Amino acid sequence: MNWLQTLVDAIGLGSVYALVAIGLALIFGVMRLVNFAHGELITAAGYTLVVAHALPVPFAIALAVIVAVVLAWLMERVAFRRLRDAQPATTLVATFAVAFALEAVWLIAFGARGESADLLSNLNKPAIQSGDVTIRWVTIAMLGVGGLLLGGTTLLLNRTRIGLQMRAAAADFRAARLLGVRADRVISVAFVISGVLAAAVAVLLTAQQPLVTPTFGLEITILALVGIVVGGMDRLTTATMGGFAIGFLNSLFGNVLPDDLRVYLPSAVFLVVIIVLLVRPVGIFAPRGSGAAERL
């Protein structure tokens, strides 16, 4: 048992969960939609890497990004756009429907056992070795890509015109439209960004562990969603921190718990979640005395 090693690995995985959280929080912020189908974007990118494993790595990654972005855009265009004025429960069920429909597609196309996307397994080699602590390339990639995409998203939101429009739409969609902000455009851009983030998650996850199954993206999405709710869904920063925390804890407990207790890991995580929500319903990272206010 090496505590430092466990911690290093947990930080890496936490970054990946944070990326999932940003994608989910962006869509929730702009259109109040909890997109359960976000995981299918990750899975789609994962299977793209499986299919494209013979291509040079940059091309395979580019293809995965394109597939996830196009699928994200299509999802909104075909399924969610016409439900924009529907009850939240209706749209939530619609995202479930999209998720399960796509999962059926993966099952039919690729089977239940899973396929290997091992084009980045080289990243599992050690980059830095010091005593009994090994930092693998994949951990560095997770931190680097996570930081880069978080920074990029923040810059886009805070420094560009479309970013400003997204923040305005997140705060008061009707007021934004009254000023001429195009609802369709703002929402499409949010979905495209969530597609890019999902592809990055797929690349990082397969680099660590190449097996892609039909529920590849769903599991991490549900956990990240829990993290977002615990962290504070109403703000991009708190949602990201919540995503990181849940990924970090999951990796930590996974390594610390003895094998025969590991089956209880999800139960343990959800127990923590229930306690947190009972004590701080707005989220642990939300500022004191804050209600629902700014969303991005």
Partner 1 sequence: MAEPTAPAPPPTPPPAATPMLAVERLAVSFAGVPAVREVSFEVGRGEVVGLIGPNGAGKSTTLLSIMGAAPLVGGEIRVEGESLRGRRTEDIARAGIALVPEGRHIFPKLTVEENLELGATSARGNGGDHLDAEIDVRELFPVVAEFRHRQAGALSGGQQQQLAIARALLARPRLLLLDEPSLGLAPSVVEDVWATLRAIRARGVTILLVEQRAQITVQLADRSYVMTNGEIRAQLAPDEAEDMEKITTAYFGASAEGGR
Residues that bind partner 1 (CB under 8 A): 160-162, 164-165, 167-168, 171-172, 174-183, 293-294
In sequence order, the β-bridge partners of residue 135 are 128
What kind and span of H or E run contains 98?
Answer: helix 88-110
Amino acid identity at 182 = R
Q: Describe the crossing of helices 161-171 and 137-159 by its angle, rounded to 10 degrees.
A: 80
For residue 154, the minimal CB distance to partner 1 (Å) is 15
> Of 57 and 164, which CB lies nearer to partner 1 in the complex structure?
164
Per the CB < 8 A criterion, the answer to whether 244 and 15 are in contact is: yes
Q: Using CA atoms, how far apart are residues 57 and 122, in angstroms rounded to an integer?
A: 11
Q: Using CA atoms, how far apart are residues 186 and 189, in angstroms rounded to an integer?
A: 5
For residue 89, the minimal CB distance to partner 1 (Å) is 19
In sequence order, the β-bridge partners of residue 128 are 135
For residue 27, the minimal CB distance to partner 1 (Å) is 19
> Of 53 and 182, which CB lies nearer to partner 1 in the complex structure?
182
Q: What is the DSSP string of 207-244?
A: HH--EE-TTHHHHHHHHHHHHHHHH-TTSHHHHHHHHH
> Of 87 and 267, which CB lies nearer to partner 1 in the complex structure?
87
The set of residues, in sequence order, having a beta carbon less than 8 Å from that of 167 and lying 6+ positions away, is 157, 158, 294, 295, 296
For residue 2, the minimal CB distance to partner 1 (Å) is 44
Q: Using CA atoms, how far apart are residues 235 and 281, in angstroms rounded to an integer?
A: 14
> Of 172 and 219, which CB lies nearer to partner 1 in the complex structure?
172
**For the CA atoms of the chain, what is the radius of gyration?**
19
> Of 87 and 130, which CB lies nearer to partner 1 in the complex structure?
87
- Compute the C-alpha angle 170/171/174, nearest 5°: 85
> Residue 116, SS3?
strand
> Of 129 and 160, which CB lies nearer to partner 1 in the complex structure?
160
> Of 174 and 288, which CB lies nearer to partner 1 in the complex structure?
174
For residue 181, the minimal CB distance to partner 1 (Å) is 6
For residue 295, the minimal CB distance to partner 1 (Å) is 9
For residue 31, the minimal CB distance to partner 1 (Å) is 15
